[in-house]
Amino acid sequence: MNPQDLRVILATDCGSTTTKAILIQKLGDEYRQTYRGEAPTTVEAPFEDVTRGVLNAIQEVEELSGRTILDGERIITPANGTTGVDIYISTSSAGGGLQMMVTGVVKAMTAESAQRCALGAGAIVMDVLASNDGRPSYEKIERIRHLRPDMILLSGGTDGGTVTHVVEIAEYIAAADPRPRLGIGYQLPIIYAGNKEAQGEVQRILGDKAALSITENIRPVLERENLMPARHKIHDLFLEHVMAQAPGYKKLISWAGAPIIPTPAAVGMIIETVAKREGINVIGVDIGGATTDVFSVFQETFNRTVSANLGMSYSVANVVAEAGLDNIRRWLPFAFDEQSLRNQIKNKMIRPTTIPQTVIDLQVEQAIAREALRLALDQHKQLAVGLKGVQQERSVSDAFAQTASGQSLIDMFALDLIVGSGGILSHAPRRVQSMIVMIDAYLPLGITQLAVDSIFMMPHLGVLSTVNEQAATEVFVKDCLVPLGTCVAPKGMGKAGERCFSYRLLLPGERMVEDRIPVGDLRLLPLEVNQEAGIELTPARGFDFGAGDGKKVTGKVKGGVVGLILDARGRPITIAKDEAARVQQLQTWARGVELYPEEVTNRGIGESGNR
């Protein structure tokens, strides 16, 4: 069937714990997401067949929609009246997703390109090996032996350059004789995407020991990355080797009308598609229980990172270990002693499926979420960079403003939209809480729109974008995103109470609102979904909205379910060290945006969260 003729689309995402099915239908001239069903994933014992969970999730969609989709254990295609669907598509992260090890010659060059390549393909990178990574060679071999990845991406060298180093790494891999994570007796898939002059030697060394695939060099010259051929090869091998050995996947692959792709790769695809269609810079984040994925598109360059041990349940204690307890406590609007806080967080780690039962529990989780998001973005900024090692031509005018190669692409002033996904953001009791958590974590500058994923359908839409881009983007904008509103914040720091900036807001119906905002204030103005207003911002000296110190900027702000947030707390946000002062400061901010119910924000300063 021609992709443009698709009218009923069924998509599933087979996650580690839940399989989610959605139905997308063409209603009139537009595609809309209509029904959703979910069921536990059945990859593990006692079922050991992923299709059981898929069928259960589809059955829920059938019951809710009244549409007959299944004929026994077969998906009926094409659609005819209220029966069947035109296409079935799926993504998968069951069984821990795609776990890879990558190698390169120089850590900051080919090894970094290999890392970007694997992450963009939706993998979790277990380790990055490079000739100059500082580890003794026997330690590298031991590491390769013990990791048991799903596949290895071997890269290194530019085409025509020296072959010795990349061959040396191939020899390390051969000596380690690594085994795949799944399927005892199978050969480990290895993709060679390095110096093409070394292909013969690599084939000789690894050809008999592994399932070797050779593709184009990911860094043919230092000035250019060529990641797509290797990414496609990763997806092919993911289907052929990794998924084919997971229980039930052969059947699932036969049902699907498009290749099954790893869940994070699909999320990246929809974010990249939308950013390019709208011509905007986007950061997307999916904060899960075990991992946090960050996606960005800046200057049309897509990047993805996964922080494998930053999450809100399984990895919650690791957020504390990495951020430090004081960084968590700084976001708590009440006193809490270290022992009680530590025990509470560890109890969440050992009972990962518990959900907050009190406002205090919620505030602790949201404090941890701020730090997890902040750390994950820091890690993302380190990888989302321009190519390192590139020769730069400099003129005399550059002599006073030389920049090194490999600068981060993440420019918070240029950022247009932040999209949040994951339970802590999508299911917050008040949407303003999601918005403030993201603002506190990311510290957006200038004018930035924020949104959350309503029911986690980005993976489904990502795989749909490979079949029908129009359907995917329409559903993304209309049903997937919940617009929260816009944040306006200048860069700079000042004395509390002094003028930070003035604004003039031209609301629909020619209504004008203007005011001065003092340093330290956080305010919420109503601006509804689908409303747009003109804004003129005049910062005080020492503050910058992107045009320079104290310089006026004008722009447009979009509304949302929360509205317009005017953030004059400064960048970075200064939080009082003294506990009583901190509690008062956080409660004032919370009151300014109606973050919690009134009785919570008016809780006495002396009251503690200890139990």
Tokens read off for 175: 């000596």
Nearer to other proteins, 326 or 393 (CB): 326
- Count of CB atoms situated within 10 Å of the CB of 82: 11
For other proteins, the closer of residues 316 and 472 by Cβ is: 316
CB closer to other proteins out of 129 and 489: 129
Residue number, 171 or 549, with CB nearest to other proteins = 171
Q: Which residues contact 126 (CB under 8 A, 6 or more apart)?
A: 99, 100, 101, 147, 149
Rounded CA separation 112/130 (Å): 9
Angstrom distance (rounded) from CA 304 to CA 380: 7
Q: How far is the CB of 185 from other proteins (least distance, A)?
A: 8
What's the CA gap between 154 and 121, in Å, rounded? 15
Distances (CA, A) of 549 to 133, 500, 555: 41, 12, 17
Cα separation, 373 vs 125, in Å, equals 19
CB 317 to other proteins: min, Å: 5
Closer to other proteins by CB, 9 or 319: give it: 319
Closest distance between other proteins and the C-beta of residue 525, in Å? 33
Closest CA to 246 of 102, 96, 120: 96
3-state DSSP assignment of residue 262? strand
Please say which residue, 94 or 270, places its beta carbon nearer to other proteins. 94
Q: How near is the Cβ of 157 to other proteins at its closest, in Å?
A: 13
User: Minimum Å distance from CB 254 to other proteins?
Assistant: 25
Shortest Cβ 161–other proteins spacing (Å): 15
Q: Which residues face 286 on adjacent strands?
A: 293, 421
Give contact residues for other proteins (rule: CB under 8 A): 16-17, 44, 95-96, 137-138, 141-142, 163-164, 167-168, 171-172, 174-177, 179, 184, 201, 290, 309, 314-315, 317-318, 320-322, 338-340, 342-358, 361, 364-365, 611
Instruction: Name beta bridge partners: 486.
Output: 449, 564
Min CB(95)–other proteins separation in Å: 7
Nearer to other proteins by C-beta: 170 or 482? 170
The 10 Å Cβ neighbour count of residue 184 is 7
Residues 6+ apart with CB under 8 A from 85: 8, 9, 10, 23, 69, 75, 76, 77, 78, 79
Tokens of 259: 């290749």
Identity of the residue, 338 or 498, whose beta carbon is nearer to other proteins in the bound complex: 338
Contact criterion met (CB below 8 Å) for 245 and 131: no
Give the span between the Cα atoms of 70 and 53, in whole angstroms.
14
Give the nearest distance from C-beta 422 to other proteins in angstroms.
Answer: 17
